[in-house]
Amino acid sequence: MAVYTHVPAEEIDAFLTRYDAGRLVSAKGIAEGVENSNYLLETTGADGNGHRYILTLYEKRVDEADLPFFMDLLDHLGARGCLVPRFIADTDGKRLQQLGGRPACLIEFLTGISVTEPTPAQARACGVALGELHRAAQGFAGERRNALDKDGWHALAARCGDDFDQIAPGLGARVAEELAFLDAHWPADLPRSVIHADLFPDNVLMLGDEVTGLIDFYFSCTDIRAYDLAVTHSAWCFSNDGATWYGDRATAIGQGYAAAHGLTDAERAAFPILCRGAALRFLLTRAYDWINTPADALVTRKDPLAYLRRMDFYAKADPAELLGA
Amino acid sequence: MAVYTHVPAEEIDAFLTRYDAGRLVSAKGIAEGVENSNYLLETTGADGNGHRYILTLYEKRVDEADLPFFMDLLDHLGARGCLVPRFIADTDGKRLQQLGGRPACLIEFLTGISVTEPTPAQARACGVALGELHRAAQGFAGERRNALDKDGWHALAARCGDDFDQIAPGLGARVAEELAFLDAHWPADLPRSVIHADLFPDNVLMLGDEVTGLIDFYFSCTDIRAYDLAVTHSAWCFSNDGATWYGDRATAIGQGYAAAHGLTDAERAAFPILCRGAALRFLLTRAYDWINTPADALVTRKDPLAYLRRMDFYAKADPAELLGA
């Protein structure tokens, strides 16, 4: 959420000569996304009409070896009508470059703003966009393992170990209990596909009630398709602190997704379990970051308990209420 | 150099309705400037053609009481042809607002990039722009004390106290010696005016060899006019680490400034002293920040010794070489 690698504007301007993008007229480091460095660029444009791009330099959290997967995925989705930011090829057809000592890519800029308090109409549009994304992903040949799947949660919980209880007394035991429950009940036979896996409101650009872009695919991977809806549900249907549940948003997301893609009976039946898994996944990554970030660091630590509250909610929720009719 | 106050996009959109600016279509937090929170906004524009703005939320380093001075100054300069970002008035004529619990202003966005390795032609353009700024500042009635004047340096040095030598052995004695020298030699009768006081390459936007904007006036104040040229000189004419001096840039800045504004014999004679003062001013603020920022903090500490090297250079320099003919 900062600019980690500073690239002189002269170097960015020289970098742009590889592309049919015009000359640089503005470059602003932006505070966005996962741990990459991002610049919002403005150029004269190939046609002299001005054009904007995102320049991303990949820091340690994104593995360079994964970039072709993300590039091919966004090309596949974009070609099928999804509003996703495509990686731009230079005049030699090359999309992956080096800049400032980092892997770097020039990426489409999409307009739209990220809502913080989604209305039901906006939540429905998000559900529709996720359904359309899953529909467009059919036939995509690429695969990428979800490093944050159930095995990943076990590994992360083990690394947090005794430190969970620094965050809240009894948290370690609660996590162990939930992992045991999910081991016993995690669905085995649901349809799998490429999923976004991180579709928070931050990663959905909107204008009014219309989705104008889905961004930040750096967690995208191959996993249970309906788990993507569970992640989205856990991100969109609560207050930030997880204390308040917004049933109207949940119904809207569920209906939007079902209208655009459809949900099988088996997916609906497993949905509360998938939501518990989604809540645990974010609880665990937040707990790990909490334990490993000094309290006085200038990075904002996200509260793991906001996802404990969601997990507790899903454990007790009436399954019929989670997705509406 | 980060976004300290996060404002939901819905609130920014609502904020914009006070202005004749159209509706929000994009908002990106940008990593820029002094310790304020800045967003680069794109709107539909009053005319539907799209428009960009900077939204600034003032954090603790800028005193709200100083904002009218900055606003009036930029209006004065802008009205006289300087390329400076003006504060935008809402439909009631109000420029200072509150947003996210902070004083907040909507400001003109200017294109241009900040060079890192200025060519002589770019350095000359910077000198011309500073000279034109000083010419345009004539007749501006506002005054603001320079908190970082010589008295301010003494106060800052006292606060660093014994900690100077944590940075480099003997630094405390060197600072005391320089302060004593400046007390004895600081010029008393040079012309004063409003000055920018922080015209680093970061704060000059350029396209090619043309200046397209002078930004970040939050250190602007009333002081010796030629001291502004000394600050600019110390910022533009060395490698970042202060180890390499670029005489061609210095000659170019001096000639550009002299052509646009003129320099009196008294200003030329005092220039080496003014440069020693400028170098000490940045040495002191960097030393203070260095001492008061934990080494493991994620904020990049700027090296105070880069300005000790400049100060040493100016103390030994041939005065005739500093500004060219």
What is the domain-level CATH number for residue A163? 3.90.1200.10
Instruction: Name the token pair of A96.
Output: 């992956």
The answer on A83 and A178 residing in a single domain is: no
When scoring A5, A16, A23, A30 by the number of chain B Cβ atoms within 10 A, the one with the most, hence best to mutate, is A30
- The Cα of A2 is separated from the nearest Cα of chain B by a number of Å equal to 7
Cα A196 from Cα A227, distance rounded (Å): 10
pLDDT tens digits for range B159-168: 999 999 999 9
Kindly state whether residue B114 falls inside one of the protein's structural domains.
no
The answer on A129 and A64 residing in a single domain is: no
Query: With bands split at pLDDT 50, 70 and 90, how would you rate the model's confidence at A274?
Result: very high
Cα B277 from Cα B184, distance rounded (Å): 12
Residue that finishes a domain, picked among B63, B87, B108: B108
Selected residue with higher pLDDT from B91 and A33: B91
Residue that finishes a domain, picked among B56, B75, B108: B108
Across residues A120-128, what is the average pLDDT?
98
Residues of A whose CB is below 8 A from B25 = 111-113, 207
The answer on B266 and B177 residing in a single domain is: yes
Cα B148 from Cα B284, distance rounded (Å): 10
Q: Are B46 and B36 within 8 A, CB to CB? A: no
The answer on A291 and A243 residing in a single domain is: yes
**pLDDT at residue B299 in the model:** 58
Selected residue with higher pLDDT from A35 and B177: B177
pLDDT greater than 80 at residue B16? yes
Backbone angles phi, psi at B272, to 5 degrees: -60, -35
Instruction: Name the token pair of B20.
Output: 């004749």
- Nearest by CB to B113, from A9, A115, A299: name it: A9
The answer on B104 and B130 residing in a single domain is: no
Across residues B183-195, what is the average pLDDT?
97
pLDDT greater than 60 at residue B1? no
Task: Give how many domains chain A has, as a whole number.
Answer: 2
> Angle at which helices A247-260 and A225-236 pack, to 10 degrees?
150
Given an 8 Å threshold on Cβ–Cβ distance, is B29 in contact with A32? yes
Q: Considering chain B, what percentage of its residues have pLDDT values greater than 90?
A: 87
Given an 8 Å threshold on Cβ–Cβ distance, is B116 in contact with A31? no
Chain B contacts to A (CB-CB under 8 A)? 2-3, 8-10, 12-13, 24-32, 40, 42, 111-117, 207, 294, 296-299
Kindly state whether residue B190 falls inside one of the protein's structural domains.
yes
**pLDDT at residue B301 in the model:** 72
Cα B61 from Cα B77, distance rounded (Å): 24
**Would you report the helix, strand and coil content of chain A in percent, each value rounded to 5?**
45, 15, 40
Residues of B whose CB is below 8 A from A8 = 115-117
Residues of B whose CB is below 8 A from A3 = 31
Q: Considering chain A, what percentage of its residues have pLDDT values greater than 70?
A: 95
Cα A148 from Cα B30, distance rounded (Å): 30
> Please, what sign has the CA dihedral across residues A16, A22, A26, A29?
negative
Kindly state whether residue A94 falls inside one of the protein's structural domains.
yes
**pLDDT at residue A156 in the model:** 97
Query: With bands split at pLDDT 50, 70 and 90, how would you rate the model's confidence at A295?
Result: low
- Give CA separation, B48 vs A41, A92, A112, A117, B25, in Å: 22, 37, 15, 26, 11
- Residues, chain A, total? 325
Residues of B whose CB is below 8 A from A45 = none
Across residues B104-111, what is the average pLDDT?
96
pLDDT tens digits for range A211-243: 999 999 999 999 999 999 999 999 999 999 999
pLDDT greater than 80 at residue A284? yes
pLDDT tens digits for range B17-62: 999 999 999 999 998 766 789 999 999 976 666 799 999 999 888 8
The mean pLDDT value of chain B amounts to 94
Cα B172 from Cα B178, distance rounded (Å): 10
pLDDT greater than 60 at residue A173? yes
**pLDDT at residue A5 in the model:** 84
The answer on A289 and A164 residing in a single domain is: yes
Residues of A whose CB is below 8 A from B297 = 296-298
Across residues A306-319, what is the average pLDDT?
95
The answer on A79 and A227 residing in a single domain is: no
Given an 8 Å threshold on Cβ–Cβ distance, is B10 in contact with A116? yes
What is the domain-level CATH number for residue A76? 3.30.200.20
Cα A250 from Cα A118, distance rounded (Å): 11
Q: Are A253 and A125 within 8 A, CB to CB? A: no
Given an 8 Å threshold on Cβ–Cβ distance, is A298 in contact with B299? yes
Q: Are B133 and B195 within 8 A, CB to CB? A: no
Closest residue, chain A, to B118 (C-alpha)? A10
pLDDT tens digits for range B67-86: 999 999 999 999 999 999 99
Best CA proximity match to A146, nearest among A75, A226, A230, A218: A218
**pLDDT at residue A324 in the model:** 78
pLDDT greater than 80 at residue B260? yes
Q: Are B309 and B279 within 8 A, CB to CB? A: no
**pLDDT at residue B298 in the model:** 53
Kindly state whether residue B178 falls inside one of the protein's structural domains.
yes
The answer on A259 and A308 residing in a single domain is: yes
Which residue in this structure is represented by tokens 């906001």?
Answer: A306
- Give CA separation, A11 vs A16, A309, A316, B168, in Å: 9, 47, 55, 33
Q: In whole angstroms, how large is the CA radius of gyration of chain B?
A: 20
Given an 8 Å threshold on Cβ–Cβ distance, is A297 in contact with B297? yes
Kindly state whether residue B311 falls inside one of the protein's structural domains.
yes
Q: What is the 3-state secondary structure (H, E, C) of B69-82?
A: HHHHHHHHHHHCCC
Kindly state whether residue A1 falls inside one of the protein's structural domains.
no
The answer on A168 and A70 residing in a single domain is: no
**pLDDT at residue A124 in the model:** 98
Q: Are A11 and A38 within 8 A, CB to CB? A: no
Query: With bands split at pLDDT 50, 70 and 90, how would you rate the model's confidence at A32?
Result: confident
Across residues A178-202, what is the average pLDDT?
97
Q: Considering chain B, what percentage of its residues have pLDDT values greater than 70?
A: 95
pLDDT greater than 80 at residue A131? yes
Q: Are A1 and A13 within 8 A, CB to CB? A: no
Instruction: Name the token pair of B108.
Output: 């003109």
**pLDDT at residue A293 in the model:** 79
Kindly state whether residue A300 falls inside one of the protein's structural domains.
yes
Residue that finishes a domain, picked among B50, B78, B108: B108
Kindly state whether residue B4 falls inside one of the protein's structural domains.
no
- What range defines the domain where residue A133 resides? 120-322
The mean pLDDT value of chain A amounts to 94
The answer on A184 and A72 residing in a single domain is: no
**pLDDT at residue A142 in the model:** 97
Cα-Cα end-to-end distance for chain B: 38
**pLDDT at residue A99 in the model:** 96
Residues of A whose CB is below 8 A from B48 = none
**H-state helical runs in A64-149:** 67-79, 120-137
Q: Considering chain A, what percentage of its residues have pLDDT values greater than 90?
A: 87
The DSSP output letter for A53 is E
The answer on B208 and B79 residing in a single domain is: no
The answer on B274 and B204 residing in a single domain is: yes
Q: Which positions ≥6 away from B79 have C-beta within 8 Å?
A: none
pLDDT greater than 90 at residue A300? no
ipTM confidence: 0.89
Across residues B199-217, what is the average pLDDT?
97
Q: Lowest-confidence range among A105-114, A242-251, B290-299?
A: B290-299
